[in-house]
Amino acid sequence: MSLSYILRRVSEYTESDMHFDVQNPNIVVVGVGGSGCNTVSRMKRLGLEVPTIAVNTDMVNLRMVDADKKIYLKTRTGRSTGGHVEEGEASALMARDYLERSLEGSDIVFITTGLGGGTGTGATPVIADIARKLGALVISIVSLPFEIENMHVKRAREGLKKIMEYSNTVIVLENEKLLDIVPNKPLNEAFMVMDQLISYTIMSFVDMITKPSLINIDLADLRYMLERGNLSTILISEGEIDDVRRIVTDALNNPLMNIDYSTANGALIHITVGEDASLNTIYSTVDTISSFMRRDPKITMGARIDPEYGNRMRILVVLTGIKVPFMEKVREIPELEEDFEVR
């Protein structure tokens, strides 16, 4: 990335800043299945001001969820999916008209789910498909089950392939990483951490495109970066501005997904700094990140000044075009017989 590119982005901002009637894009966050609904609930409690929709086949869970809109997906059997992905898919297809009406007019649709169950894994590709056909940019953010959740892993892998097909990008986070981050927490608290990470990712995106910035990232930039079918992940780090390299290596050393960086072909970098940070600090941050990637990565950057940051800097990097070992691993898991019954 050249300095002239950055200067052009800065001058673009100055021009667009003169038009006060620039409208923010319409954004909506959809949580699917038990885990997706929990994430959406938590986001609301954290103060996200974007409209949220909770979608589930489980009425009990839906009643407890905190969301602006709740969509109950009725299964063919009238009961829960029991882990059957095709039931989750069919229930979403039956609610197609209603889902369409709820998503109409959205510019960006975030869909979040924990892969591995029947509802989230089956309904998410249908919802992504509907949103894309309505013209929205679809960013799915999914968590992958723990490796010990055998049957869930197999379903998640199949589901992820479909979600990639219908989304502009799928940001993947691994539950397994929670074992490094919070090894001693009980499971429900560990899930809470994952939900918070997903909430934080979505909230950062929303900030990135709606809050006034020094160097703006807009909907067109996102569309350029997030090609259909891409797998992405996020890196987050914060530190003192005088040690940019450490902030970047911290981010790279603590990914929320086991990935191969060398295959990443793009990075959406958003930097938040205090008032005194120089253009050079921003430039060297972007330069350091790109030095870890293969030659000529596609890079888009944005920068926001927040006086509260003082001498500190926060970076959020969305790495795109990554390869994920989870998708490569083909470990055969024996299927249970279809009408197996526990007596």
- Interface with ligand GTP (CB under 6 A): 33-35, 38, 57, 80-81, 83, 88, 114, 116-120, 143, 145-146, 149, 152, 175, 191, 194-195
Residue whose CB is less far from Mg ion, 34 or 116 = 34
| Spatial CB neighbours of 216, under 8 Å, sequence gap ≥ 6 | 9, 12, 13, 16, 302
Position 115, amino acid = L
How far is Cα 221 from Cα 285, in angstroms, rounded to an integer?
19
- Tell me if 107 sits within 8 A of 26, measured CB to CB: yes
Binding track over 54-93 against Mg ion, x by CB under 5 A? ----x-----------------------------------
How far is Cα 153 from Cα 329, in angstroms, rounded to an integer?
10
Residue whose CB is less far from Mg ion, 31 or 321 = 31
Q: Where are the alpha helices (DSSP H) in 118-186?
A: 118-133, 150-166, 178-181
Question: Cβ of residue 132: shortest distance to Mg ion, in angstroms?
Answer: 25
Question: Cβ of residue 139: shortest distance to ligand GTP, in angstroms?
Answer: 17
Among 9, 27, 29, 34, binds Mg ion (CB under 5 A): 34
How far is Cα 313 from Cα 189, in angstroms, rounded to an integer?
28
Q: Which does 195 bind (CB under 5 to 8 A by kind): ligand GTP, Mg ion, none?
A: ligand GTP
How far is Cα 112 from Cα 116, in angstroms, rounded to an integer?
13
Stretch that binds Mg ion, among 51-59, 124-132, 204-212, 260-268 (CB under 5 A): 51-59
Residue whose CB is less far from Mg ion, 120 or 239 = 120
Question: Cβ of residue 313: shortest distance to ligand GTP, in angstroms?
Answer: 28
Residue whose CB is less far from ligand GTP, 70 or 152 = 152
Q: Please tell me the chain's helix, strand, coil percentages from 3-state DSSP, rounded to the nearest 5.
A: 45, 20, 30
Q: Which residues bind Mg ion (CB under 5 A)?
A: 34, 58
